[in-house]
């Protein structure tokens, strides 16, 4: 759906702002020798034909605010449209004279005030005064031979509420027909909107035709015309690239912009598939914009750069107007990458870190290319409808080599930015692309905050198909051979620190095998705490209360588990580097909840008995909201964070994780943090297409880079898939497929060599 409209006021090719409704031109009218050329729309057997001077006239058009007519005509263009008769930087008579000299016609825009700019169409005096201004303009320019048509206002339906605007449009059209019988009238409409079309047809019957302005939505125009049964002649007075309101956005809500090559492809396809197919009803079209302007970016809509170089969109229009390509083609963009990602991905960088940027460009003639990179803050301008936006200054001194095809970007202070890349040949042509990126703040911990000096560790449960821990009926543990195989796989993939979740038989056997085989593996030992009160009202999968006798027995089991953990920490003090007391036993949705005061009691007991640091593992939200009493007891904070569980896309994954960790750090300053679980599922009904191996690879790599930069130990969840979890009849349950390796120990994409 078209979300915005535009009164197009462009800059010149050297960057002059084209200001709306400023000073009225005082230039004299056309010379006495000039005579108007009659323009009319005539019905034919197949529709309609635009006639000029009695001959069929096929518009090869572009929107142009400032005179660049000689170059325009050299590419085969024959008609321009503008947006105002009162522009400060363009003498309208001079523009018409230049157009006539080069065989170009002009659809002249009367800058009818828009309701969204404060004009009140219920104010008869204001409406009458505006009509008189336009009367003078019509008298001034009506006889110029370059004049093709009158465009009354531009997208007056944008954010309008008062349909009386189209009564005023009709008054202007009637006045023009009274004073100028030689040139038809139109008004432009943002999008193809049946309700507004009906309003215009009812209120402005003196218009000769309606014009539509469409970008990405142009590709649906033919279907919309058929659906409405619209049979009248019309023009498309703005079309071109995909609008920023129609593009996919980053996770922080800014639009990705097509490269200059992608824009040229869109233009060629739009003309071939849509505009050409509407001949007989479409009586003319004007591509936007023959010039340059700042609108969200300095490159979005203009066919030229700010310095006046031609982009590939000019090549496309040359081909459309002439049937062949220009003698020297504009360089084409193959790709632009920042940190290995394209402009359609959400690129999140960490302040102060360095990232690779590459611009791959092809030149048809093999011309020598030069390059330029720029960093700009993301536009904060909320202007609509193409209104004037102030140019954005460059952010300097963050690029290692701004004049090469590849450079390094050092991420500036936190905020939203775009990285722009340009490639120039020596024939006045330029290719361009840009990538929006978000810079996140990051807190760097001291190196001694790392566990066992390791960055990437892994959560390990060695249960294979048919195996499981004790779920109330005893455990079915892996064999020694299977455990050894697992440990060798993990070591081969540089995992020297593992997390185990309990102090039971399987964990003890794993520790013994590490010692017996002198394996360079360290362990974060777990003490598993069972439910000490029933959380059946808070846990979605507890359908009934846990019996009191079971809860009482669990208290005794927990005490015994704590004592076994203490014994293991002492016995294997050369292997166990820290002890975790309880796993998600405090967060309000769990099925094994333990009161906070009891967890603190267990932590104190363990700390008093062992030399290793002690922590508790729980969800980041719990730590932020309720964690202060426990944070005062532990040696470091153990955090779990799962973006995919919280409906985040992979493009949002790292940023969301960093946000979670920063939230804990801000709530509980002064304590080291380790991420004891973070991962990305590779298959799950609950996550749909977001769960896949490519996403897991991305998340692993991004999280590793962040952890390295911040001295944070991360236990990636998890080593191997665990089919024993959840519903045995649901092979794609959310808990089953988080492994870096499949349950048969074959590597997934993230571990593929």
How confident is the model at residue 383, as a pLDDT? Answer: 66
Report, as an integer, the average pLDDT of 329-347.
94
The token duo for 628 is 């202060």
Name the β-bridge partners of 44.
47
How confident is the model at residue 20, as a pLDDT? Answer: 32
Same domain flag for 58 and 190: yes
Whether the bond into 603 is cis, omega within 30 of 0: no
pLDDT reading at 374 higher than 60 = yes
Same domain flag for 491 and 639: yes
For tokens 């003090």, what's the residue?
573
Domain count, the chain: 3
Same domain flag for 105 and 231: yes
Same domain flag for 487 and 521: yes
How confident is the model at residue 389, as a pLDDT? Answer: 87
pLDDT reading at 24 higher than 60 = no
The pairing of beta strand 234-239 with beta strand 282-287? parallel
Return d(Cα 26, Cα 432) in angstroms, integer: 39
Report, as an integer, the average pLDDT of 355-370.
97
Return d(Cα 280, Cα 49) in angstroms, integer: 7
How confident is the model at residue 6, as a pLDDT? Answer: 31
Report, as an integer, the average pLDDT of 58-87.
96
Residue 588 lies in a domain: yes
Residue 33 lies in a domain: no
pLDDT reading at 21 higher than 80 = no
pLDDT reading at 15 higher than 80 = no
3-state SS record for 485-501 = HHHHHHHHCCCCEEECC
Residue 415 lies in a domain: yes
Same domain flag for 98 and 222: yes
Specify the higher pLDDT residue, 388 or 456.
456
How long a stretch of residues is the chain? 753
Phi-psi region of 601 (alpha: psi -120 to 50; beta: other; left: phi over 0): alpha
Q: Exposed, middle or buried, 344 (CB in 10 Å: 0-12/13-18/19+)?
A: middle
Q: Which of 103, 198, 101, 92 lies closest to 150 in space, CA to CA?
A: 92
Sign of CA dihedral 446, 449, 452, 457: negative
Report, as an integer, the average pLDDT of 632-648.
97
Q: Distance from first CA to last CA of the chain, Å, rounded?
A: 46
- pLDDT bin (cut points 50, 70, 90) of residue 350 is confident
Same domain flag for 423 and 457: no
- The one-character DSSP state at 683 is -
CATH (domain of 88): 3.20.20.80
Q: Which of 286, 304, 330 is the last residue of a domain?
A: 330
How confident is the model at residue 420, as a pLDDT? Answer: 98
Rounded mean pLDDT of the chain?
Answer: 92
pLDDT reading at 440 higher than 90 = no
Same domain flag for 345 and 325: no
Same domain flag for 533 and 564: yes
pTM of the model: 0.69
Residue 129 lies in a domain: yes
- pLDDT bin (cut points 50, 70, 90) of residue 386 is confident
pLDDT reading at 224 higher than 50 = yes
pLDDT reading at 709 higher than 90 = no
Residue 632 lies in a domain: yes
The pLDDT tens digits for 550-594 are: 999 999 999 999 999 999 999 999 999 999 999 999 999 999 999
Please report which residue ranges of 468-595 form alpha helices under DSSP H.
480-492, 505-516, 548-571
- pLDDT bin (cut points 50, 70, 90) of residue 387 is confident
Q: Long-range contacts for 540-545 (Cβ within 8 Å, ≥24 apart)?
A: 540/589, 541/591, 542/591
pLDDT reading at 32 higher than 90 = no
The pairing of beta strand 185-190 with beta strand 147-152? parallel
The pLDDT tens digits for 164-219 are: 999 999 999 999 999 999 999 999 999 999 999 999 999 999 999 999 999 999 99
Same domain flag for 479 and 587: yes
What is the enclosing helix (H) or strand (E) of 222?
A: helix 221-228
The token duo for 593 is 């909840």
Q: Which of 440, 469, 485 is the last residue of a domain?
A: 440
How confident is the model at residue 11, as a pLDDT? Answer: 35
- pLDDT bin (cut points 50, 70, 90) of residue 33 is low
Residue 10 lies in a domain: no
Same domain flag for 284 and 366: no
CATH (domain of 435): 2.60.40.10
Same domain flag for 358 and 322: no
3-state SS record for 25-85 = CCCCCCCCCCCCCCEEEEEECCEEEEEECCEECCCCEEECCCCCHHHHHHCCCCEEECCCC
How confident is the model at residue 382, as a pLDDT? Answer: 66
How confident is the model at residue 251, as a pLDDT? Answer: 84
pLDDT reading at 99 higher than 80 = yes
Return d(Cα 376, Cα 393) in angstroms, integer: 6
CB atoms within 10 A of CB 328: 16
Residue 27 lies in a domain: no
Specify the higher pLDDT residue, 8 or 635.
635
Query: In Å, how far are 213, 417, 560, 614, 669 from 441, measured between CA atoms?
Result: 42, 14, 43, 28, 16
Residue 7 lies in a domain: no
How confident is the model at residue 144, as a pLDDT? Answer: 97
Domain with 257, as residue range(s), is: 39-330
Report, as an integer, the average pLDDT of 516-520.
98
Question: Of 48-62, 79-93, 449-463, which range is least confident?
Answer: 79-93
Q: Which of 415, 440, 465 is the last residue of a domain?
A: 440
Return d(Cα 233, Cα 697) in angstroms, integer: 54
Within 8 A by CB and 6+ apart from 256, the residues are: 247, 248, 249, 250, 343, 344, 436
Same domain flag for 700 and 630: yes
Question: Of 6-15, 284-293, 544-553, which range is least confident?
Answer: 6-15
505-516 helix and 480-492 helix, angle to the nearest 10 degrees: 60
Return d(Cα 74, Cα 287) in angstroms, integer: 16
């Amino acid at each position: 759906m078209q979300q915005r409209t535009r009164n197009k006021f462009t800059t010149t090719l050297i960057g002059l702002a084209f200001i709306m409704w400023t000073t009225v031109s005082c230039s004299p009218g056309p010379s006495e020798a000039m005579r108007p050329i009659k323009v009319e729309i005539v019905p034919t057997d197949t529709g309609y034909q635009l006639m000029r001077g009695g001959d069929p006239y096929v518009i090869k058009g572009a929107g142009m605010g400032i005179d660049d007519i000689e170059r325009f005509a050299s590419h085969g263009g024959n008609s321009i449209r503008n947006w105002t008769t009162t522009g400060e930087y363009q003498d309208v008579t001079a523009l018409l004279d230049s157009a006539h000299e080069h065989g170009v016609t002009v659809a002249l825009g009367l800058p009818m005030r828009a309701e969204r700019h404060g004009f009140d169409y219920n104010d008869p005096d204001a409406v009458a005064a505006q009509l008189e201004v336009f009367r003078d303009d019509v008298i001034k320019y009506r006889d110029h031979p370059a004049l093709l048509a009158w465009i009354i206002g531009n997208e007056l339906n944008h954010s309008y509420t008062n349909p009386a605007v189209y009564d005023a449009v009709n008054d202007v059209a009637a006045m023009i027909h009274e004073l100028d019988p030689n040139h038809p009238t139109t008004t432009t409409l943002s999008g193809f909107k049946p309700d507004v079309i009906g309003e215009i047809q009812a209120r402005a019957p003196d218009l000769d035709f309606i014009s539509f302005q469409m970008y990405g939505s142009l590709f649906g125009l033919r279907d919309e015309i058929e659906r409405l049964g619209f049979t009248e002649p019309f023009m498309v007075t703005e079309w071109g690239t995909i609008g920023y309101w129609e593009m996919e956005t980053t996770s922080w809500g800014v639009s990705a912009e097509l490269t200059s090559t992608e824009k040229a492809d869109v233009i060629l396809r739009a003309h071939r598939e849509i505009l050409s197919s509407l001949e007989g009803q479409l009586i003319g079209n004007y591509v936007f914009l023959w010039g340059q302007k700042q609108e969200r970016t300095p490159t979005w809509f203009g066919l030229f750069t700010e310095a006046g170089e031609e982009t590939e969109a000019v090549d496309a229009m040359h081909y459309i107007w002439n049937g062949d390509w220009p003698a020297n083609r504009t360089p084409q963009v193959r790709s632009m990458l920042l940190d290995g990602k394209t402009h359609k991905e959400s690129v999140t960088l960490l302040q102060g870190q360095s990232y690779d940027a590459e611009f791959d460009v092809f030149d048809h003639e093999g011309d020598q290319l030069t390059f330029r990179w720029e960093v700009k803050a993301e536009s904060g301008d909320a202007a609509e409808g193409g209104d004037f936006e102030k140019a954005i200054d460059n952010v300097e001194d963050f690029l290692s080599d701004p004049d090469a095809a590849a450079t390094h970007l050092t991420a500036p202070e936190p905020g939203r930015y775009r990285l722009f890349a340009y490639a120039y040949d020596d024939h006045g042509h330029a290719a361009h692309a840009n990538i929006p990126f978000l810079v996140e703040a990051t807190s760097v911990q001291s190196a001694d905050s790392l566990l066992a000096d390791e960055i990437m560790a892994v959560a390990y449960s060695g249960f294979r198909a048919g195996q499981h821990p004790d779920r109330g009926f005893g455990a079915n543990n892996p064999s020694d051979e299977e455990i050894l195989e697992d440990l060798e796989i993990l070591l081969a993939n540089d995992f020297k620190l593992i997390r185990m979740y309990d102090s039971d038989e399987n964990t003890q056997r794993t520790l013994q095998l590490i010692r017996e085989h002198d394996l360079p593996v360290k362990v974060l030992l777990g003490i598993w705490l069972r439910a000490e009160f029933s959380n059946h009202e808070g846990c979605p999968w507890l359908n009934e209360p846990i019996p009191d006798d079971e809860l009482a027995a669990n208290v005794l089991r927990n005490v015994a588990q704590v004592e076994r953990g203490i014994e293991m920490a002492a016995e294997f003090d050369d292997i166990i580097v820290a002890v975790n007391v309880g796993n998600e036993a405090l967060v309000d949705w769990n099925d094994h909840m333990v009161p906070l005061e009891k967890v603190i009691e267990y932590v104190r007991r363990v700390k008093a008995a062992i030399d290793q640091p002690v922590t508790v593992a729980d969800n980041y939200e719990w730590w932020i909201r309720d964690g202060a009493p426990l944070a005062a007891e532990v040696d470091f904070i153990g955090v779990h964070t799962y973006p995919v569980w919280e409906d985040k896309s992979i493009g949002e994954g790292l940023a969301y994780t960093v946000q979670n960790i920063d939230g804990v750090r801000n709530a509980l300053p002064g304590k080291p943090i380790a991420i004891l679980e973070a991962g990305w599922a590779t298959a799950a009904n609950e996550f749909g297409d977001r769960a896949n191996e490519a996403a897991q690879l991305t998340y692993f790599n991004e999280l590793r880079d962040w952890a390295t930069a911040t001295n944070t130990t991360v236990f990636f969840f998890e080593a191997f898939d665990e089919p024993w979890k959840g519903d045995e009849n649901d092979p794609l349950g959310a808990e089953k497929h988080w492994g870096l390796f499949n349950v048969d120990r074959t590597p997934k994409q993230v571990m593929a060599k």
